Amino acid sequence: MKKHNFSAGPSILPGEVFAEAAEAVRDFNGSGLSILEISHRSEAFSEVLDEAHQLVRDLLNLPEGYQPLFLTGGASTQFFMVPMNLLLSGEKAAYVDTGAWASKSLKEARRFGQIDVVASSKDDGYTFIPKDYTLGSGYRYLHITSNNTIYGTQYRAWPEVDVPLVVDMSSDIFSRPLGDVSRFGLIYAGAQKNMGPAGTTLVIVREDLLRHALGELPTMLDYRTHIAKKSAFNTPPVFPIYVSMLTLRWVKEQGGVEAMERRNLAKARLLYEEIDRNALFRGTARREDRSLMNVPFVLERPELEQDFLAFCEEAGCVGLKGHRSVGGFRASIYNAMPIESVKFLVELMQEFERRFS
């Protein structure tokens, strides 16, 4: 049976990417070797790494001075590497708290400087993106989480502030154009939603923000180490980077992040319209801040939750269970999710309505 994978991450990637990645594990480009056994210093992998960096530059339209890096450790590692690299002793940064990940990021940052939470939607269960706040002076950066995977909220416009934005884009990078990149100081994203499989983390950093004395930070934790060595200071995660490169190549072939945004808007509209129309279901995020990536919803009659989940799984829809902290359901509809799968889910919701209304 065909599966429709609505997992929040690791999550669906394009079918072509799976096919090409599987072949590379068997025999990489007819070399007689698996991609898993080639040297990270080989010409073949250097080309992969170069192409991956270039695709990031092209797709996101990065100006001079911005360096893409393929690191490891997930966004959770960036939670401390960002303030460690961007704050000097005694400096301060502003954070907006829009959910579990934002909250973790600011907790880790507190070890490295004064961290002020300038806005939060915590008291409302993180159901919206705070927009009414003013930033005092003296902040090195403002940190936000562009898309909140658990709560299904997303920044639809970037905050207008006078300091560089530092953005955790783990769950919506490459899903839409960034607009004017010069507003960003640093962007980071775990690969395992829109970019590739688990195992690598993209960091895009504006180099002039790195002001520590050379040698002050552990070598592996200083972004400049990885900038100087183009993400190959030590052995990088070869296969996760390779599959990310294939996925970014696919994004480009499909028409880039502009095409992704059009598709993502169409998919999200379809699903939210059904949630709003169908009396059995209710969306949990505030409408104006609804995420195009993660669509959380609950049943008006909670006693039907198990039935609906089983009904969906029998039909081949997996990964729909909401995060354990909020319950209900969550349909993640990342770049690689075809609109046909969203239509299929909508039909299931309608069929469920006919049975239980």
Q: Which of 97, 172, 193, 222 is catalytic?
A: 193
Place of tokens 């990031």: 56
Active site residue 168: yes
**In the complex with a copy of itself, which residue's Cβ is closer, 119 or 169?**
169
Token readout for 109 is 């940052």
Active site residue 193: yes
Give, as ranges, the residues between 170 and 199 that touch a copy of itself (CB under 8 A). Answer: 190, 192, 197-199
In sign, the C-alpha dihedral spanning 36, 42, 48, 49 is positive
Candidate list 152, 164, 237, 328; residue touching a copy of itself; CB under 8 A: 237
Active site residue 158: no
**In the complex with a copy of itself, which residue's Cβ is closer, 247 or 278?**
247
Candidate list 68, 74, 152, 296; residue touching a copy of itself; CB under 8 A: 74
**Pair 294, 271: CB distance under 8 Å:** no
- N residues, the chain: 357
With a CB cutoff of 8 Å and minimum separation 6, the contacts of 235 are 40
158 binds a copy of itself (CB under 8 A): no
328 binds a copy of itself (CB under 8 A): no
CB 52 to a copy of itself: min, Å: 14
Give, as ranges, the residues between 101 and 140 that touch a copy of itself (CB under 8 A). Answer: 104, 107-108, 111
Candidate list 182, 234, 306, 325; residue touching a copy of itself; CB under 8 A: 234
* Cα-to-chain-centroid distance, residue 280: 30
Candidate list 187, 238, 248, 275; residue touching a copy of itself; CB under 8 A: 238
Q: What is the CA radius of gyration of the chain?
A: 21
**Pair 189, 201: CB distance under 8 Å:** yes
Candidate list 29, 54, 182, 219; residue touching a copy of itself; CB under 8 A: 219
**In the complex with a copy of itself, which residue's Cβ is closer, 36 or 266?**
36
72 binds a copy of itself (CB under 8 A): yes
Candidate list 89, 123, 134, 218; residue touching a copy of itself; CB under 8 A: 218
Q: Which of 92, 123, 131, 168 is catalytic?
A: 168
**In the complex with a copy of itself, which residue's Cβ is closer, 256 or 316?**
316
**In the complex with a copy of itself, which residue's Cβ is closer, 84 or 257?**
84
Give, as ranges, the residues between 33 and 62 that touch a copy of itself (CB under 8 A). Answer: 33-34, 36-40
| Catalytic positions, written as ranges | 101, 168, 193
Residues that bind a copy of itself (CB under 8 A): 1-3, 5, 7-13, 18-19, 21-23, 25-26, 31-34, 36-40, 72-77, 79-80, 104, 107-108, 111, 190, 192, 197-200, 218-221, 233-240, 243, 316, 318-319
